[in-house]
Structure formats: C-alpha cells, structure tokens
Structure 1
Amino acid sequence: MKHTKISLVLLGFLLLACNEETSVTPLIDQQDPIAKSEIDKTIISSLQEDDEFKWSEASDEMLWSALIHGDSVLTLGYQPAGESDINGRISEIDIQQQAWISASDRIIDDAILMMQNQNPDLDEDRVVIRRHEVLPFIDLKVSSLEVVKYFRSLDNVRYVEPLGYEVDFPVTDDGRIESSKGCSNDANYGIPSSDYTNISPGAKASWHLYANNVVNAWSSSTGSSIGIGLIDTGISPNQDNLNSNFNSGYSSGRSVNKYGFYVSSWWWWANPDGPDDDCGHGTAMAGVMAAPRSTDGSSVGVAYNANLVSVRGTGDVVINGGKEKTGVSDALVFLGNRSDVKIISMSIGDVFSNSKVADAVRYAYGKGKLIFAAAGTSTSWTNWYGVIFPASMNETVAVTGIKESGYTRCDVCHSGSKVDFTVIMERTGTENHPLSLAMSGNQPSTVGGSSVATATAAGIAALVWAKNPGMSREQVLNKMKYTADLYPNRSSSFGWGTLNADAAVNY
C-alpha cells in the first residue's frame, strides 16, 4: 500500500521506538489487561444506573482490555477534517469522494505502520480487516494500548470500539446462565382451541390477531405490494409456507427473497453462511408477519399478501458478537438500498449500543425505511433494564408486548420511556403466546416476548401502507400513533399504547 504522510504525533511516537542502532524496537504494553469480570461489572453497573453504556466514556485501558478479551478487532468510525455531526445525513455521504478516501487512508496507513513497528513481519492484510464500502468505518486488527490511545486522540475519528467484546451473563445458584438466545421453534401440539380461530380457506388465526384488531383490518387491506425486510436468523428451508407455498390459499401475487450476511466462522475472510435459519427465531418472526392464509391448517400472518425479504444477520437474537454486528449492519445497508422494501423489522438487539450498527440504522432510516425494533426480551438478569439497542435509537420504532388485561408487560418483556407501541401477546392466566410457523410442517408453533410484538407491529404497518401506498413513512406512523389506545397521552412505560390495526388502516 502506498503510505500517506503521517502526522507529527505518530512520527514522534515512532521515533521514540528506535534505538541508537536505528532498528525498530517492538512496543510492548507494560501492563496487564483489566480483568474481564471487572469490565463486565462496570458495564452492568452503568446499565443499572443510567440505562446505557457507551465505550466513548470508558478509559483507554478499559477499552484496550475489552479489545484483548474479545477478538482484537477495533472498529473506527471516521470523517474528514472539518466534518461534524454526520449522524443525521449518513445516508447522503459518498465515502468514495477524495476527502473521505484520504481520511480513511490516513487511519489505515497509521495503523499498519504502528502495528508493523511492533511486528515488522506483519502483513498489511492482517491489520486491515475491512474498510466498509458504504459506511464510514474501518475494522482493524490491533492489540496495543498505545494504538488505542493514538486513534482516540484524532479529531477525524468519530468512535473507537472493540468489535467482538461480549458481556458474560450472571450465573444463578443452580448453574444456569440467565440469558436466552431465543433459538427454539418447535411445533406446539398442545395449543388449546381457544387460542385460535379456524378461518377460510383452511388457516388458523392466532388469538392475538383479534386482540389487536388485525382480522377486521383484512376487509380493507392484506398488505399487498408492500415489501417487509426482516433482519433475523434467516428462514428455514424446510418450512414450505415460507418457500414453495408462500403463494397459497388467499395469498397470491407476491414474492419471498432470502439472503445471508452472517458469518459464523472465526476466520474473518470466510463467506457468509447463507440465508437458512439454524435457530428458529427468524422463521417464527417471518410467520407472524407474512405467513400465507393457506389451506393446510397453519397459522396466518398479519400481512398475508405482503412481500418478504429475509436477511440472515445473526446466529441468534442477541447482537453481541462481532459477527452479529457486522451481519446486521450489512443487512441494514442492503435493505436500505432496496426500493421494494418500505419496512424493516428487527426482533433482535443487545443491552448496550454499537456504533457500527447505529451507523447502519441511520443509513437505512435516511433511505426512508420505517424500522421496528424489539424493546427487549430477557430473563431476570436484565429484566430491570429499559429499552435495548437498537430500539433505543430515535430512528427506530420500539415495540414491547403486554398481557390481555390492562397495561401489564409480558413476563419477559422490557418497558420504558423509549417504547413507542405495545402489542397484546400474552394471555392473562395461561400466559399463552401467539401462533406462528414452526421450522417445518403445518402444525403451528407459539412465540412470545417483545419479538412477536415487533413482528406484529411491522405487519400492521404493512397493512396501513398497502391501503395508503402514496403515503410517506411519517404519515403511516402517524396513523398508527393516532389510533393507538393511549393517544394523545404518552405513557412513560408503554408509549402511545396498544396498536389497533383496523383503526389505523382506515383512519
């Protein structure tokens, strides 16, 4: 690579590393990393006190230690000198312009020089993992505290974050980890008949479709011609109703497309795994939103005539590893650039934010997409926590689930001031959940949490937009807001309240 002129700061840094014989002495960090347990404790404490954690507020030593305990990949957001506050216009930026190329070249050249100063035999392609093609960030393989300090001191570096650091979940007395990856979607053969209604031409309508007034909305809209983008764990190739039978029964003239950006391999150069669901969560969410109104006794989706674009961005429901963050950010850019997608549904998230994914959310939002995100579903270790990322962002619509009677959140759902809407998805007393499609076959599965609430809300948005195809994102969202049952008063825990599909479609 042709190196650009480095800064005086970096030059001084390199000169200090040279001995009297002009050879380069490898720089060695003279301290041990902070223990992972201490980093986790600090992060969880910040979440408990402030409902958020930001790497920008961590010390250089803590950030570097997290880098060492993770995959040693550092993500740097950049911008040219003189640029400021690009968040609101990130979708308009062309990083192929010379000012942006020069800014990223400088970071890459500096990183290579500094790392080769430590290890002269290090190849350049072992330092530069990726310079993103659309968004202004770079992934670098680094391991030095001095490198972290240097990049955090630069004015043209927007953020510096460890990509692959994951918080270890607390362990209970009986040895269970208090966390759920959301990976289960087996057929439920114990669904009581009171939890669904048989409807023509042979489908099952989940009880929660009536609770949220979806069934009545079908007389006005079924989601025809609206594209929903799903970012999740993919779609099962064995579920015919999301493949060869996507157009069946009363569902016709629509399409399903499947893509994959998630890479499970530890090797950074590996190819994506593909679009197939190994978890079950994505299949269930696709079923809630867009399963056909078929003849085989399976459950019907909210928008059963909508088009579906499924992108596998994760291996499970938590965007915590570097592979998930990369997969989700790529999925958001991909869907943001598709003119046939108006809505993006993300029933996934994490308890603290990631700037790479945040950049991608803002990019898709800037492209006019209406983005729904789950407010959070977890067991007791984070059930105290408010709305998770990316539902906590202003660019997303945060959805949580509540029980049938009154405003009581579901047993594992999060709530908080950043919630925008609620969906009824848990029966009082039995605690039964809505129906969806299992990994294969016609027998429905059941699915809970804010995940199903989010998928339901995305489907309702498709119904509204299909009835009013010329409307903007803001107009569609306002129809949903004005007809939610708490409007015009906004709850500090449940936003505008429960969605009313029929009222929103016909408002």
Structure 2
Amino acid sequence: MRNFTRYAVGGLAVIFAGACFLLAQPEQSEAPPKKPDTSSVSQQTKPHKFYRINYISGLNETRTRLNNSEHVITIHHNSNETSHYMKREVTVKFKRPPSPTELKQMIQAINGWEKARFGSMYIFKSRTMSADELIAYFNKRPNVQFAEPNYLLLPNATPNDMLYPRYQWNMPAINMEQAWDISKGRENVIIAVIDTGVDLTHPEFQGKLVKGHNVLNDSDRPQDDNGHGTHVAGIIAAKTNNREGIAGIAWNNKIMPIKGIGSDGSGSSFDIARGIIWAADHGASVINMSVGNYHPSNVLHDAIKYAFSKNVVMVAASGNDHTSQPSFPAAYPEVISVAAIDWQGNQANFSNYGSYIDVAAPGVDIPSTYVQGDYASLSGTSMACPHVAGLAGLIRSLNPELNNSEVMKIIRAATWDAGQPGWDHYYGYGIVNVPHALQLAGTHTQNTTPSATKPTQKNTFWEQLQKLFP
C-alpha cells in the first residue's frame, strides 16, 4: 500500500508568482516530482504514514519573499491583505494582434521586450519604464483593449477503496453515498483542473484522464511536479471501487489536467487565463480553479467570461486567510465561490468569508491522491473547491440539457443551511448536499431558487457523522 500523508490546516495555497520566473526557467515544469520533506514531520499511525506539514507557514514565507523582492511591487489593501505584481511589466490585450512592424515600434518605445504571447494577449517588460508608465503608454494606443500589471496570485454507493471507511469523512458529510445511487457521472462530461498538473502515472488516474495541456512549455504533458493538482484531481475523480486508495466524487467523469503552475508553486494570471481558454476550447464542461488573489485581473476575467460564454461551469476556492477581502477568480459573478468547513460542519478557521461566498464544502484533513503514486491529507479551500466541481460534473452528467447558469443555481439551492438562517457571509447559501442537487437536476424548472430554511435533519446528520469519525 502506498504512503498516505496528512498535512496540517492551510493546504497548499498555490502561489501564482510571476510569469518571468516561469518563462526564464521553463525547465521547472519538467522537474522530477518532489517527495515530501519528512525531516520535520512525525509519524502518526501505521500501516499508513501520516505527516503533518504546515503549509500556512510556507505561504507566509512566500508572501514575505514577494514583499521584499526587488522585482515585485506590493499593494496593501489593508493592514493584513496584500497583492503583488511584477515591476516594469504589463499584460496587454489587443483588439487585433499587432503587425511585426507595430510590435517592433512598441518594443523600441518602451525600451524593453516581449516576454510572452497567447492569441491577442502579450506580456511586455521594460528596462526603464514603471508598470504605471507602461499602462499609460499602451492605453493610448487605439488597438489596445486593456493594459494592466502582471499580477501575482495566491492560490487557494459505498465504495470498497481502502482509505474510504477510515479517513474520507468528507464524503458522508455531503451525502455522497446516497448521491451515487442517483448518478456516478458520465465519461463524456469532462472536468478540467487548472493547477500544477496531475501525476500521470498514478494508479488512481489510469483510464481517468483525457488529453491535457502544459501551458508553461506549450506541451501535451501536464505532469505534476508539486502535488497540489494531483490532490485536487483525486477529490474530483480518483478511480473508485477499485479496492485501492480513495474514492472520487465523480466515479465515471474524466479529468482534463491543465498545468499552469510550476514545481515551486508559481505561475501567473496570464498562464491561468491561457489554461481556461484551452480547457474551454477542448471540451471541458467544468473547470476547477483552486487558486486566488485579492486584486482583480482583466486578463483572467476576460478568459473566464470567454469560458462562460461557451457554457462552462467554473468553480474557485475562496482563500485561506480568514478574511472578507474579495478573492479572485472566486468573486467574479461567472464563478462559484467555495468556502471550507471542518468535520463538525463549522466554518474552517482559515476559510475566507464575505459577500462573494456561494457555498461551503469539506476542506479540513481531506485525503486524496499525491505525487509519485502516494496519498496525502491536506486542508484548505483548495480542497473544498473540487467537491463542488465534482458535484457540477455529476449534475451535467445527469441532465446534459442544463446550461451553466442553471447548474450554478441548483448548486446554490441544494444546501444544508448553516450559520444564520438563509444566505450568510460564512457559508453562503449553505453546505452542499449532493443528492438533493441531483434530485433538483433531474426535475429542474426555471423557478429553482436557493434554499433559505434549515432542514430538520441537519443536527441529526452531524451527530451521526461525529459517531462515524470520533
């Protein structure tokens, strides 16, 4: 049996650290998978190995590094929340791609160079001009749709699988066993995971993957060299009922792995936008984005609006800083924003909250797949998010006629109320209830509205869950 590793609260809040690092070091995306550092961890139980690694401290170290970097500008939203963008660097979207002559003139005018391009989106770097000066220069050109800083984002049936009975508290918490009696998903409903990639050789993904993409080196090999993406993908659709490892939410759905984040947990809004567009153009019905930042990005929102226009359901993590500061892409109206709960049904102590929260899902000590064929337990809204992406895949499998707006309405409507009656800042419309959502999908009408009442069985259910996982 492969190793099963438990990580402390916080999960892996994936860092979109600037395209310049990735483009200067493209070999990072092909680095061999890294094993967890066990020098500072303690074994908890046997025969499976459990490690507790605090990724929140790692996230704070990354923030400190960005705050002190001579290549990065820091935006202070308030005393606690910050965002970052690359110095002397901008992302530009043209109304039409510039001609070679126009491109040469612009590069000479900014005393810089073109770092990357994707369609009509470009990243430019100047040797002498600040980001504000670059934005002012490009926004004066009639062919420019927008220019903005290159932002850096901080991510966020009873099966016989061996780890399910003892560790996967998250599945009964959203009533998955009853849901699997209604639908186990369909192979032709594809769920894209835009993240660090997926462990392509992991036994839980054999026969479960469709063709993906690595936007960092423009290849068709999105191999995970970090672990975060593999963990997220396993929650959604690990091979189930195979007497090994864990159970995924969507038994029959397949995963489209999109690698937009490098081995060091760094990427950019430009790369994630490219991943969203690639997924939408290659048949994804659902996109999972366990990533986020506190500053909106036009290039990212543009890609999201494009995917939404192609009838894709998008789900994003709300963030792990226990703040009400809106996080993007979760706060965009085209995206379902997911907060995290613990095994008692309470808001996770790290989970973000606020006016942009749609629903809540399990996000503490969530077992799933990990790199090099292993298993791990991580915490974070990054882990809550794929529960809802998997639910969206099941809904679209059961009723393919539903459009993305109707799927989003059903997910919001099919919840257990939590916190204050009705919608609230901590749980949104409530904790997702998968079988209820599938029942609504099967009998859907245009009048579906979010629930605002507490079901009488809620307390009984959580009492039963506490007996199952004491």
Instruction: Give the TM-score normalised by the residue count of structure 2.
Output: 0.69
Deviations 1:218-277 (A, max 9, x none): 00101113211111111113411113xx4xxxxxxx6543321124xxxxxxx5594111
Indicate yes or no: 2:173 matched with 1:199. no
Q: Evaluate the alpha carbon distance shift between residue 317 and residue 462 of structure 1 in structure 2; reply closer, same or farther with a 3 A threshold.
A: farther
Measure the CA separation in 2 of the matches of 1:48 and 1:364: 35
Q: Evaluate the alpha carbon distance shift between residue 489 and residue 411 of structure 1 in structure 2; reply closer, same or farther with a 3 A threshold.
A: closer
1:444, distance to aligned residue in structure 2 (A): 3.8
CA contact (8 A) 1:281 1:316 kept: no
Match of 2:113 in 1: 127
Aligned mate of 1:43, from 72, 75, 92: 75
Match of 1:139 in 2: 123
Aligned mate of 1:112, from 104, 107, 119: 107
1:113, distance to aligned residue in structure 2 (A): 4.0
Q: Evaluate the alpha carbon distance shift between residue 485 and residue 317 of structure 1 in structure 2; reply closer, same or farther with a 3 A threshold.
A: farther
1:453, distance to aligned residue in structure 2 (A): 0.7
Aligned mate of 1:424, from 362, 367, 378: 362
Measure the CA separation in 2 of the matches of 1:279 and 1:439: 7
1:75, distance to aligned residue in structure 2 (A): 1.4
Q: Evaluate the alpha carbon distance shift between residue 40 and residue 109 of structure 1 in structure 2; reply closer, same or farther with a 3 A threshold.
A: closer
Q: SS of 1:315's equivalent?
A: coil
* 1:125-204 map, 5 Å: 127-133=113-119, 136-145=120-129, 147-154=134-141, 156-163=143-150, 199-200=159-160, 204=164
1:275 counterpart letter in structure 2: P
Match of 1:74 in 2: 90
Q: Evaluate the alpha carbon distance shift between residue 143 and residue 440 of structure 1 in structure 2; reply closer, same or farther with a 3 A threshold.
A: closer
The percent identity for this pair of structures is: 23
Measure the CA separation in 1 of the matches of 2:402 and 2:249: 20
Q: Evaluate the alpha carbon distance shift between residue 38 and residue 262 of structure 1 in structure 2; reply closer, same or farther with a 3 A threshold.
A: closer
Aligned mate of 1:302, from 242, 249, 253: 249
Q: SS of 1:372's equivalent?
A: strand
Deviations 1:307-337 (A, max 9, x none): 111111112696xx6x433321211111111
CA contact (8 A) 1:114 1:147 kept: no
Number of matched pairs = 366
Indicate yes or no: 2:384 matched with 1:384. no
1:297, distance to aligned residue in structure 2 (A): 3.0
Q: SS of 1:299's equivalent?
A: coil
Q: Evaluate the alpha carbon distance shift between residue 47 and residue 230 of structure 1 in structure 2; reply closer, same or farther with a 3 A threshold.
A: farther
Q: SS of 2:106's equivalent?
A: helix
Indicate yes or no: 2:410 matched with 1:450. no
Indicate yes or no: 2:205 matched with 1:242. yes
Match of 1:233 in 2: 196
Measure the CA separation in 1 of the matches of 2:366 and 2:135: 47
Q: SS of 1:75's equivalent?
A: strand
Between structure 1 and structure 2, the one with the greater Rg is: 1
CA contact (8 A) 2:152 2:269 kept: no
Match of 1:311 in 2: 258
Structure having the larger proportion of residues in strand: 2
Measure the CA separation in 2 of the matches of 1:368 and 1:317: 32
CA contact (8 A) 2:191 2:286 kept: yes
Q: Evaluate the alpha carbon distance shift between residue 293 and residue 36 of structure 1 in structure 2; reply closer, same or farther with a 3 A threshold.
A: closer
Q: Evaluate the alpha carbon distance shift between residue 161 and residue 289 of structure 1 in structure 2; reply closer, same or farther with a 3 A threshold.
A: same
1:420, distance to aligned residue in structure 2 (A): 0.6
Measure the CA separation in 2 of the matches of 1:147 and 1:479: 44
Q: SS of 1:275's equivalent?
A: coil
Greater RCO (Cα-Cα under 8 Å, separation 6 or more): 2
1:314 counterpart letter in structure 2: I
CA contact (8 A) 1:436 1:444 kept: yes
Measure the CA separation in 1 of the matches of 2:277 and 2:101: 25
Deviations 1:358-400 (A, max 9, x none): 22122111111000011012xxxx4435342111211111101
Aligned mate of 2:341, from 402, 410, 414: 402
Measure the CA separation in 2 of the matches of 1:325 and 1:42: 16
Q: Which runs of 5+ in 2 are unaligned?
A: 1-66, 441-470
Measure the CA separation in 2 of the matches of 1:330 and 1:490: 34
CA contact (8 A) 2:339 2:426 kept: no
CA contact (8 A) 2:338 2:388 kept: yes
Match of 1:25 in 2: none
Match of 2:434 in 1: 501
Measure the CA separation in 1 of the matches of 2:115 and 2:235: 37
Match of 2:227 in 1: 280
Match of 1:436 in 2: 368
Q: SS of 1:457's equivalent?
A: helix
- Further displaced range: 467-476 or 297-306: 467-476
CA contact (8 A) 1:235 1:258 kept: no
Deviations 1:24-73 (A, max 9, x none): xxxxxxxxxxx9689989612x2559x897x9xxxxxxxxxx65x4xx44
Deviations 1:157-184 (A, max 9, x none): 3433332x659xxxxxxxxxxx9x88xx
2:295 counterpart letter in structure 1: F
Q: SS of 2:287's equivalent?
A: strand
Aligned mate of 2:268, from 292, 304, 324: 324
Match of 1:61 in 2: none
Measure the CA separation in 2 of the matches of 1:276 and 1:293: 22
Q: Evaluate the alpha carbon distance shift between residue 444 and residue 357 of structure 1 in structure 2; reply closer, same or farther with a 3 A threshold.
A: same
1:200 counterpart letter in structure 2: N
1:496, distance to aligned residue in structure 2 (A): 1.0
1:393 counterpart letter in structure 2: Y
Match of 1:14 in 2: none
Match of 1:123 in 2: none
Indicate yes or no: 2:295 matched with 1:362. no
1:480, distance to aligned residue in structure 2 (A): 1.6
Match of 2:181 in 1: 219
Aligned mate of 2:170, from 188, 208, 230: 208
Measure the CA separation in 1 of the matches of 2:162 and 2:73: 53
Q: Evaluate the alpha carbon distance shift between residue 42 and residue 228 of structure 1 in structure 2; reply closer, same or farther with a 3 A threshold.
A: closer
Measure the CA separation in 2 of the matches of 1:110 and 1:233: 36
Instruction: Give the TM-score normalised by the residue count of structure 1.
Output: 0.64
Cα RMSD for the two superposed structures: 3.4
